[in-house]
Amino acid sequence: MVTILSHPLVEHWLSELRSVDTGPARFRELVRHLSAALFLEATRDLPLLETTIRTPLMETPARRLVSGPVLAPILRAGIGMADGILDFVPEASVYHLGFYRCHDTLEAVCYYRPTVSAAAGRRAFVLDPMLATGGSAVAALDEAYTWGVERPKLLCLLGAPEGVERVRRAYPEVEIFLGALDERLNEVGYILPGLGDAGDREFNSP
Q: Which domains does the chain have, with CATH numbers?
A: 2-203 (3.40.50.2020)
Which has the minimum average pLDDT: 17-21, 115-119, 175-179, 193-197?
115-119
ω into 76 cis (within 30 of 0): yes
Q: Which of 45, 30, 64, 52 is nearest to 201 (CA)?
A: 30
Between CA 198 and CA 192 the distance in angstroms is 13
Per-residue pLDDT, 67: 85
Per-residue pLDDT, 153: 97
CA 166 to chain centre: 17
Three-state SS at 8: helix
Per-residue pLDDT, 30: 97
Helix, strand, coil shares of the chain as percentages rounded to 5? 35, 30, 35
Predicted confidence (pLDDT) at residue 100 exceeds the cutoff of 90: no
Provide the CB-side half-sphere exposure for 114 (13 A, CA).
18
More confident residue, 167 or 100: 167
More confident residue, 144 or 107: 144
Predicted confidence (pLDDT) at residue 31 exceeds the cutoff of 90: yes
**pLDDT band, very low/low/confident/very high, at 83 (cuts 50, 70, 90):** very high
Per-residue pLDDT, 188: 84
Per-residue pLDDT, 73: 96
DSSP conformation letters of 149-205: -EEEEEEEEEE-HHHHHHHHHH-TT-EEEEEEE-SEE-TTS-EES--S-HHHHHHT-
Please give the average per-residue pLDDT across 162-185, as a whole number. 96
Which has the minimum average pLDDT: 48-52, 109-113, 133-137, 162-166?
109-113
H or E element in which residue 145 lies: helix 135-146
Per-residue pLDDT, 185: 94
Predicted confidence (pLDDT) at residue 138 exceeds the cutoff of 90: yes
Q: What is the pTM of this model?
A: 0.91
Between CA 162 and CA 157 the distance in angstroms is 15
User: What value does the mean pLDDT of the chain take?
Assistant: 93
**pLDDT band, very low/low/confident/very high, at 141 (cuts 50, 70, 90):** very high
Per-residue pLDDT, 64: 92
Check residue 100 and report its DSSP letter. E
Burial (CB count <10 Å: 0-12, 13-18, 19+), residue 2: middle
